[in-house]
């Protein structure tokens, strides 16, 4: 389970956090656009996901432009990738859920520096942290991160993200992440925290 989570979380985290032409993501983008990658993926995925990654480019929007629209702006993001936007009553960055994550990191002596003071509850960063915890065989911390800080908001985020993606590659990414999270959830010993969602 740990090696499967480490592999899948690192791939998904890089795609959610980094631009598709960034060094951390470009090789992954190429791999997902090539045939046969699904045989290396640790979980089953359906043909629609595979086809989405291999779909021809959207004529009026490049992959880099889609990433800019979905994760940077300048317009309002259709599915903001930070947990506190979904979990905080005011839908703000650095909300109470972000503070709870920061306390949890400190209590577990996890040093987690984010670039440019980015909130630590960005879904891409949470996935990269999950990959690191799995690689370090920190099972308890991994389960707590997933059950308390990622999975409470991720299904709603992914529902909106998939509906608003508009680009086939990012639609496929959202669906692959949903399918992967369902597998993680079924393997968790710890129940996922039930938290109110405000978007």
**pLDDT tens string 54-99:** 888 778 899 999 999 999 998 999 999 999 999 999 999 999 999 9
pTM equals 0.95
Separation CA 150–CA 155 (nearest Å): 9
C-beta of residue 86 within 8 angstroms of C-beta of residue 153: yes
% of the chain surpassing 90 pLDDT: 88
Give pLDDT, residue 117.
Answer: 78
Exposure on the CB side of residue 180, measured as CA atoms within 13 A: 26
pLDDT of residue 1: 87
Q: How far apart are CA 140 and CA 104, in angstroms?
A: 12
């Amino acid at each position: 389970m740990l090696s499967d989570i480490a592999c899948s979380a690192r791939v998904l985290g890089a795609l959610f956090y980094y631009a598709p032409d960034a060094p951390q993501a470009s090789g992954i983008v190429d791999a997902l656009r090539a045939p046969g990658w699904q045989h290396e993926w640790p979980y089953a995925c359906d043909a629609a996901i595979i086809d989405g990654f291999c779909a021809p480019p959207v004529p009026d929007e490049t992959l880099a432009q889609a990433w800019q629209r979905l994760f940077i702006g300048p317009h309002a993001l259709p599915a903001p990738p930070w947990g506190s936007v979904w979990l905080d009553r005011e839908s703000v960055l650095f909300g109470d859920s972000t503070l709870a994550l920061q306390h949890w990191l400190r209590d577990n002596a996890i040093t987690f520096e984010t670039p440019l003071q980015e909130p630590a509850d960005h879904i891409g960063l949470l996935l990269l942290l999950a990959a690191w915890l799995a690689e370090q065989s920190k099972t308890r911390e991994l389960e707590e991160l997933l059950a308390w800080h990622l999975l409470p908001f991720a299904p709603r985020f992914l529902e909106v993200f998939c509906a608003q993606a508009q680009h086939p590659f990012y639609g496929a990414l959202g669906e692959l992440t949903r399918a992967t999270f369902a597998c993680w959830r079924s393997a968790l010993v710890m129940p996922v925290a039930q938290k109110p969602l405000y978007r």
